[in-house]
Structure 1
Amino acid sequence: MHREILSILFPTLFCIVLPSQVLLMYMIQYYSPKFLNNLKSILRCNCLLQFITLLIACSLQTRQVSNLTPIEIWCYGYVKDFDPTILYSLYFLSQSTTLASVLLTFLTIYLKFDVVRNMNKSSNQKYIVTFILLIPVVVVTGAEIFLIITKSLASEYQEKLLKINLKVTDHSVIGFITLQTIPSQAIFLCIIGPVFILPPIGFLIRRKFVNIVSATLERTTSTNRKQQNQSFINGLTIQVFLPIVCYLPMFIYLFIVIETKTESLFEQYFIGIFSTFPSLLDSYITSYSVKTYRKQIKILFKLEKAEQPIVVAAIVSQM
């Protein structure tokens, strides 16, 4: 039953996310307001990472059989007959892109706060934060490359997978997960760590952001400005909640399952789905929270009329 659900859910998710990501990329490129100019490249990169994560998830449709020792990764997707080394590398790539997307989303939140806090001032703190956020991505990528070279490409490892896959037909075993090696532990900690650490920091940033914006709103009577700031705060709040909703419950559940060696079909089949939810939600959040994007989308779908430029004719009297 789980397989039937996923065979419908993954293609449906892909068909829903792809148009929203393409639309957001278009909005970022052509309709970004001035205060987002410095964030355009980050937003574009995040869209690309989320699309790669979704594409790999839909292609592989993996299942982590966590009650086995070591944990086996089964592939049910359209590419299950490809070489296991390629599929294992794609599986690792999806982990890296998911982690990078989470960190970029947090970086976007921080940079928005930095723009408001240091209005018309230069700040080097954003470069320090960016460097710190890049460290887990570099560590995970390096550890994954090391495991692929030392494990996946080893002849004994490939022979073991070949013997296992000769006995199965509806899926293929593409690799194993063990927390007994330092690279595996580094990957696990770097992926799990931000899920627990970043949300509290995000709430703190949101609180400071709201305080600054509230002080600004007290000095302005512009209804348009107030609505713009309010939608921006709402979008920021949802982005802070997103990792808590999409990642935190499933990763806590995964940790319990791994430690107790309990078989949980829900966790095994649906952890891949939960990792793709941000790619579905984040594009809508960004489109909603930025007024320019929201307005252009309404115009595109005929929900609002485009403003016509007013032509002022100047009458020049001749001498």
Structure 2
Amino acid sequence: MMSAMETNMVLILTIFYNAYFLLAISSQLLLLYLMLKCQNRSLHEMRIYLFNILGLQFISTFSAFVLQCRIVPSSGTVAMLCYGPCKYLGNIVCEVLFHILQTSLIACATALIIAFYYRYEMLTNNSFTRSGHYKQLVISYCVPLVFLICEVLSPNDVNKLVAELTVLHPTYGLENYAILGFSDVKTVAASSQTLMLMIGLYGTPFIALVFRKKIIKILHSSRSYHAEKIVQTKSMIQGLTLQTLLPLICYCPGFTYYIYSQYTQSSSLFVEFAVSPYGFVYTIFDPLLTIYYVLPYRRTFKAIFSKHNSTTSATFVHSETARRVA
């Protein structure tokens, strides 16, 4: 049976995830609408990569909401206690969704890198074939696929997880959760998975900054680009850079707690609830960064907003005039 504190924390977490899902899906749908509405020729090919990123973020948002997991690490295992709707569908469904969530998060990181690479190639070679786009996308999914294989091969004995949780956390209401995770984090597969997470977490921003430096250098040294293209490219690169830094900021608390608990064999109910959902918050802001820093989308949004305000003002003036005449 849950303690009073755990019950309250579950309630707060449920409210958070509902608010998170609403905000994240709203920002993603807004970006999708603008991407379909704006037919700027300069973004015709870039949209392939933006659609790829947006699709992966939608998958991770939906999976995170349905799972609503909190991480409970120990010295040799890591358990995921899921309180979301998936618990009514059984552990197998929860486990599949968890694999989808983790893989989509890794795929988001590689998707941002190939978006950087595409912009760099366009500035250096000024051409990119359709087969080149597909080749890039296939390559970007190779890393998440290897990660998924390592994750599937990692030991996941639920009975061992439940037994250890019962001993280490006797006050946890385990019967209220769908429990999944990894029963031995020191195997080759599990260690490889952790290593890939670390490389993805810290390596993606580093690679992005390297590409950013190269792109900015090309823009400053070349005289063949007109001012509008330079401004648009610089703004887009700034947005992509921030998009690679956001996951680092959001994942660090949870990943740091995981490593800390592994080595100190200590845990905190409050920290478990606090850090677990924090890693997904970036999917709310990521689409908004795209809207702001991709100038054609920003201008399209402003045009729609201005048109709406003009229509509202005209309607108000017309109705007010009619009222006074009457």
Both structures adopt the same fold (TM-score exceeding 0.5): yes
Q: Which amino acid aligns with 2:304?
A: L
| Corresponding position: 1:3 with 2:10 | yes
* Amino acid across the alignment from 1:172: A
Q: How does 1:37-76 map to 2 (within 5 A)?
A: 37-67=44-74, 69-76=76-83
Secondary structure in 1 matching 2:70: strand
The structure 1 residue matched to 2:116, chosen from 105, 109, 131, is: 109
Match of 2:23 among 16, 23, 30: 16
Rounded Cα–Cα distance in structure 1 between residues aligned with 2:145 and 2:207:
21
Task: Report if the CA contact (8 A) 2:185-2:191 is conserved.
Answer: yes
Mean Cα deviation higher: 201-210 or 172-181: 172-181
Aligned to 2:219: 213
**2:138 and 2:128 mapped to 1: Cα distance?**
20
C-alpha RMSD of the superposition: 3.5
Superimposed CA distance per residue, residues 25-56 of structure 1 (whole angstroms, 9 cap, x where no aligned partner)? 23333425333323323322221211111112
Distance in 1, Cα, partners of 2:300 & 2:232: 15
d(CA) in 1 for partners of 2:128 and 2:176?
59
Give the aligned partner of residue 273 of structure 2.
Answer: 269
Q: Which residue of 2 aligns with 1:300?
A: 304
Q: What secondary structure, in the 3-state scheme, does the structure 2 residue paired with 1:119 have? A: coil
- Once structures 1 and 2 are overlaid, which stretch shifts more, 136-145 or 297-306? 297-306
Percentage of pairs with the same residue: 23
- Cα offset, 1:105, TM superposition: 1.6
The structure-2 alpha-carbon separation of the partners of 1:220 and 1:169, relative to structure 1 and needing over 3 Å to count, comes to closer
For residues 121 and 47 of structure 1, the distance between their equivalents in structure 2, rounded to whole angstroms, comes to 21
Is residue 196 of structure 2 the alignment partner of residue 190 of structure 1? yes
Residues 1:174 and 2:159 are matched in the alignment: no
Q: For residues 158 and 99 of structure 1, do their structure 2 counterparts lie closer, same or farther at Cα, with a shift above 3 Å needed?
A: same
Alignment partners' CA distance in 2, 1:256 and 1:97: 25
Matched, 1:93 2:100: yes
Task: Output the CA distance in 2 between the equivalents of 1:172 and 1:120.
Answer: 50
| Residues 27 and 285, structure 2, Cα contact 8 Å, conserved in 1 | no
Bigger helix share: 2
Equivalent runs, 1:113-262 vs 2, <5 Å: 113-120=120-127, 133-147=140-154, 151=156, 157=158, 168-216=174-222, 222=227, 224=228, 227-262=231-266
Residues in 1 aligned to 2:156 and 2:253: alpha-carbon distance in whole angstroms: 31
TM-score, reference length from structure 2:
0.77
With the length of structure 1 as denominator, give the TM-score of the two structures.
0.78
CA distance in 2, matches of 1:132, 1:264: 40
Number of residue-to-residue matches in the alignment: 298
User: What secondary structure sits across from 2:87 in the alignment?
Assistant: coil
Aligned-pair distance for 1:115?
A: 1.4
Structure 2 unpaired stretches of 5+: 1-7, 167-172, 311-326
Following superposition, the deviation at residue 161 of structure 1 comes to 5.8
